Amino acid sequence: MAFAGQTPTIIVLKEGTDASQGRGQMLSNINACLAVQDTVKTTLGPYGGDLLIVDANGRQTITNDGATVMKLLDIVHPAARILTDIARSQDAEVGDGTTSVVVLAAEFLKESKNFVEEGVSSRVIVKGFRKAAQMAENKIKEIAVKIDQDNKRATLLKLATTAMSSKLIKRNSEFFANMVVNAVGALDQNELNVKLIGMKRVPGGGLQDCLFVNGVAFKKTFSYAGFEQQPKSFVDPKIVCLNVELELKSEKDNAEVRVEQVSDYQAIVDAEWQIIFQKLQALADTGAKVVLSKLPIGDLATQFFADRDIFCAGRVTNEDMDRVLSAVGASLQSTCSDIRPSHLGTCAKFEERQVGGERFNFFEGCPAAKTCTLVLRGGAEQFIAEVERSLHDAIMIVKKATKNDLIVAGGGATEMEISKYLRDYSRTVAGKQQLIIAAYAKALEIIPRQLCDNAGFDATDMLNKLRMRHAKGDTWAGIDIVNEGIRDNLEAFVWEPVSVKINAIQAATEAACLILSVDETIKNQESAAPQAGPQMPRGAAQRALRSRGRGMPRR
């Protein structure tokens, strides 16, 4: 009951709910993002370190790929998890620059921290950041250089090499750059579906033992008795691809068939055998020498095909089957009857051979090849996994450059040029926006600064030299990691596609603006799951169970 003149207390949120709001909450969100930046920024650049991450199951991952690090860090702070999302989006959209986008977003927040502490409205900061991001994007498009189409392969090789410069495979970047460009070149140039580039890990051997297969290769599938009698090599074979189970069906649990005579039971058994033999004979009549199926191929079918010099493989994964269909020009069949010659595929050579400790099936010389396979070798499983992530980044870079023929220089050159442009522009603006755009310009310098820190250079001295070079109009002046100095990174072939830079700045700005716009967090500490009635203390529950047990009759 409320007394006269007293406002009654109204409870809106569930008991146990924690609500934090105001300037303190915004600063807390910013500090959480800066803590994530401290973890990730040491991996940036050619001399960045790798992180060894061990999960709850003891599985180890060694990587400096930003998206992988953010995914494995298992961040619980709700605002900091936004950085994980932008790293993933950068990885999905352009493949590279995943560390840069997290470092930039956190640096934008760091520069805005002073404004928040001084009481500047977050909306004012967001407005300035969005204006600066739009100008940065326009400046990148303005200074971008068009790829020479007459010598496009050389350009793509340099882009792939730059993407691998900060990875474990840096020393073999020339070898892998050729592999990456060949892989993207093998795809349908209109679609460029990188999912059709298969990557298979085989422990053992060195990096130079990695294979590029202009076709499909996959690990030998589960095989039954009779498999070793099948031929393992064909020239110009016909290939049939199925989604059919070639196995005797076993009755389901609790199935019941009532028969009155032994001959009736024998008729049922004979019918089952007759059905599968008809399927197998229909496949043999097509003239196919290689039979692949997504579903199991049993021991009866395996022996049947072995007797007729036909190779078969069942339980082929969806991914491998899709790539086989693209390569050999076959169509997937859901029945064994009415298979026409147009449904079959072919390749110049099919062979099963040993790769390290594994047996692999190779389909090479495919007429409709719009796919390829990279067989990766290495000493440790974690190392091969990192090689795969590195090649994925390089493949995405080459794909983007194939579609979009504009490039810019890396090594902090582009960020410094945009920073100088925005700083000059801020002097022409009055009021708070001048300071906010200048702060955005300063935040962009984190990329060259962190490159210097990770390489052990004097970052302050190097940035002073860079500012001086850009003030004189040297657009592409960036960090020279090799010689500890400043150089024209466009001439030094440190190139990146325009889409990487634009996407990184857009995503980082969006994340920073999103976090700045949050000024209240509501957390429900209790579980949202409904309780099934009143809860009994654990000791009381155990005593109740024991007392019930005493009253029950023994069996």
pLDDT tens digits for range 386-398: 888 889 888 988 8
d(Cα 295, Cα 243) in Å, to the nearest integer?
A: 6
Q: What is the pLDDT of residue 531?
A: 43
Burial class of residue 199 in the structure, from the number of CB atoms within 10 Å of its CB (0-12 exposed, 13-18 middle, 19+ buried): middle
d(Cα 239, Cα 312) in Å, to the nearest integer?
A: 10
Query: Digits of tens for pLDDT over the chain (555 positions)?
Result: 455 556 666 656 555 555 566 778 888 888 889 998 998 889 888 888 888 888 888 888 888 888 888 888 888 888 888 888 888 888 888 777 888 999 999 999 999 998 988 888 889 999 999 999 999 999 999 999 888 777 888 888 888 888 888 788 888 888 899 999 999 988 888 888 888 888 998 888 888 888 898 889 999 888 887 788 888 898 988 999 999 888 876 555 556 777 777 777 778 777 778 888 888 898 888 888 999 999 988 888 889 899 989 999 999 999 889 889 988 888 898 888 888 888 898 898 999 988 888 889 999 888 877 888 999 988 888 888 888 888 988 898 888 888 888 889 988 999 999 999 999 999 998 889 999 999 999 999 999 999 999 888 999 999 999 999 999 989 999 998 888 889 998 888 888 889 889 999 999 999 999 988 887 777 666 544 444 444 444 444 444 334 334 444 443
Q: Which two tokens stand for residue 6?
A: 């007293």
Instruction: Give 378-382's long-range contacts (Cβ < 8 A, gap of 24+).
Output: 378/201, 378/203, 378/204, 378/205, 378/206, 378/207, 379/203, 379/204, 379/206, 380/203, 381/201, 381/203, 382/60, 382/61, 382/62
d(Cα 526, Cα 516) in Å, to the nearest integer?
A: 27
pLDDT tens digits, 161-185:
888 887 888 888 888 999 999 999 8
**514: three-class secondary structure by DSSP:** helix
Convert 485-514 to b/e letters by CB count within 10 Å (16 or more is b).
ebbbbbebebbbbbbbbbbbbbbbbbbbbb
Neighbours of 400 (CB within 10 A): 22
**5: three-class secondary structure by DSSP:** coil
Containing 26, the helix (H) or strand (E) segment is helix 23-40
CB 503 within 8 A of CB 94: yes
Q: How many CA atoms lie within 13 A of 423 on its CB side?
A: 15
Architecture of domain 149-211+379-404: 2-Layer Sandwich (3.30)
Q: Which two tokens stand for residue 362?
A: 């190779």
Per-domain residue ranges of the chain? 17-146+413-517, 149-211+379-404, 217-254+264-368
d(Cα 230, Cα 26) in Å, to the nearest integer?
A: 68
d(Cα 276, Cα 453) in Å, to the nearest integer?
A: 68
Convert 209-239 to b/e letters by CB count within 10 Å (16 or more is b).
ebbbbbbbbbeebebbebbeebeeebeebbb
Please give the class, per CATH, of domain 217-254+264-368.
Answer: alpha beta
Please give the class, per CATH, of domain 17-146+413-517.
Answer: mainly alpha
Contacts of 59 (CB under 8 A, 6+ apart): none
- DSSP secondary structure, 248-263, as one string: PPPPPTT-----SSHH
Report which of 287, 284, 283 is spatially closest to residue 237, judged by C-alpha positions.
287
Q: Which two tokens stand for residue 410?
A: 């890396």
Distances (CA, A) of 117 to 72, 110, 111: 32, 11, 11
Instruction: Give 353-358's long-range contacts (Cβ < 8 A, gap of 24+).
Output: 353/232, 355/202, 355/211, 356/202, 356/203, 356/204, 356/205, 357/202, 357/203, 357/204, 358/202, 358/219, 358/220
Report which of 545, 533, 521, 500 is spatially closest to residue 89, judged by C-alpha positions.
500
List residues bridging with 53 in a β-sheet.
Answer: 61
Neighbours of 62 (CB within 10 A): 14
List residues bridging with 374 in a β-sheet.
Answer: 199, 212
d(Cα 122, Cα 103) in Å, to the nearest integer?
A: 21
d(Cα 17, Cα 369) in Å, to the nearest integer?
A: 59
Amino acid identity at 482: V
Q: Helices marked H in 144-261 — which ranges?
A: 152-163, 173-185
